[in-house]
Structure 1
């Protein structure tokens, strides 16, 4: 059994913690960010469809999202679809990932159309690039953002200092950099460097290596199961 520090935001950290328990590991949750609503308003305009790639966009939207009840939603993931339906919205289709969503939109909307994209402040460009390249108009409303926490829990810092944590999971370049900043000056560098740092991608691993964690390793593919499978691999 390994003691695994999960640095992702609280809602996702709990899901990862449950997976770790099933694998026989002890999860320790210490999010470096917290998800908060921006308070952005839904525009009272006409759209052919609404797009969402994260359930957070629906959970953190204000009550005015109800004005979109007659507009078809095209979303990524079952959890996003569930969150949309719980708000009384009509999910026309749910795709497995952004690549599958763009393929679906290419088929369903061959002519330039007008979309509303409910998004987070920190996001990848793939969906917006696709819409732009296809001549679509996309109104992007940033519904939520990941706010940095002021500090890691004192108990977590103490566990790190005592060498009671074996592995740290890093999910984004930003969260990796935040972990480095939040432990700097609070935990002996040697203690942090000797941990197994597992990263969701090579991009994330590079941030960790640049911080002096030469043993940082990247998952073979950016999926949770690939990341978690590395915990039991020899260092």
Structure 2
């Protein structure tokens, strides 16, 4: 399959490499860019570090990593946990791929009232902060990075959609799915976008497409790239255009 990967870098390149290894043909055309905000973690003592994305882990400075290296680190899923370990965190605890599961993991690991720091993005959801605060934890949320939408549909994606040279699209976040749909629509390619086979990391990621009337082909039972890629058909002559 010729598959559009709309997620931002550096995740797009990693996903593209995995798709190529599986025999598919990735088109890397991110619709979001990730950049640091310049904010830093407070100089306080914390009982735990919460990471809801690999971008958050990557945004930590070497000094912040060193200061929190032995603190229990709660990662939302496998990729975030793996990067945290690569960055030197010694006690990484992995949730099941979503924010509510992450909150449950924290509650099972640390006593109520513990002081936690959440390295987050500027555009974040209510969870896990809402559940943790309601449960009595003290939480400092620090917006270390921001994902910004690109101004227009990337040329590579526009050309491929116009020429009907794409089979499907992978969507890793609600914002990137919404942005891909909106940019394609503004470019006059909404019909071609809607005709793609859409694979979404979770029901939440799929929501803006469903709302827009775009058919979503596959959502894994549990969020995670392995499960998402397992939903792709085996590559073969009938899978390509």
Give the deviation of 1:137 after TM superposition. Answer: 0.6
Partner of 1:173: 174
SS, match of residue 176 in structure 2: helix
- Report the Cα distance in structure 1 between the residues aligned to 2:195 and 2:78, rounded to whole angstroms: 38
Map residues 62-81 of structure 1 onto 2, 5 A cutoff.
Answer: 62=61, 64-65=63-64, 68-69=67-68, 72-76=71-75, 77=77, 79-81=79-81
- Report the Cα distance in structure 2 between the residues aligned to 1:79 and 1:206, rounded to whole angstroms: 23
Partner of 2:12: 13
TM-score normalised to structure 2 length? 0.80
Give the deviation of 1:145 after TM superposition. Answer: 1.5
SS, match of residue 43 in structure 1: coil
Q: Deviations over 1:53-92 (max 9, x none)?
A: 333223223455257247614121565455446656x432
Runs of 5+ consecutive residues of structure 1 not aligned to the other structure: none
Distance 1:163 1:132, change over 3 A: same
Report the RMSD for the aligned CA atoms in angstroms. 2.9
Q: Deviations over 1:1-48 (max 9, x none)?
A: x10001111122122212212221101011111111111122122322
Map residues 18-33 of structure 1 onto 2, 5 A cutoff.
Answer: 18-33=17-32
Partner of 2:219: 219
The higher radius of gyration belongs to 1
Give the deviation of 1:212 after TM superposition. Answer: 4.1
Distance 1:92 1:203, change over 3 A: closer
TM-score normalised to structure 1 length? 0.82
SS, match of residue 13 in structure 1: helix
- Report the Cα distance in structure 1 between the residues aligned to 2:205 and 2:84, rounded to whole angstroms: 30
- Report the Cα distance in structure 2 between the residues aligned to 1:70 and 1:16, rounded to whole angstroms: 28
Distance 1:187 1:3, change over 3 A: farther
Count residues with an aligned counterpart: 232
Deviates most, 27-36 or 47-56? 47-56
- Report the Cα distance in structure 2 between the residues aligned to 1:203 and 1:79, rounded to whole angstroms: 19
Deviates most, 134-143 or 52-61? 52-61
The reply on whether 1:228 has 2:229 as its aligned counterpart is yes
Distance 1:131 1:204, change over 3 A: closer
Distance 1:196 1:119, change over 3 A: same
Distance 1:91 1:78, change over 3 A: farther
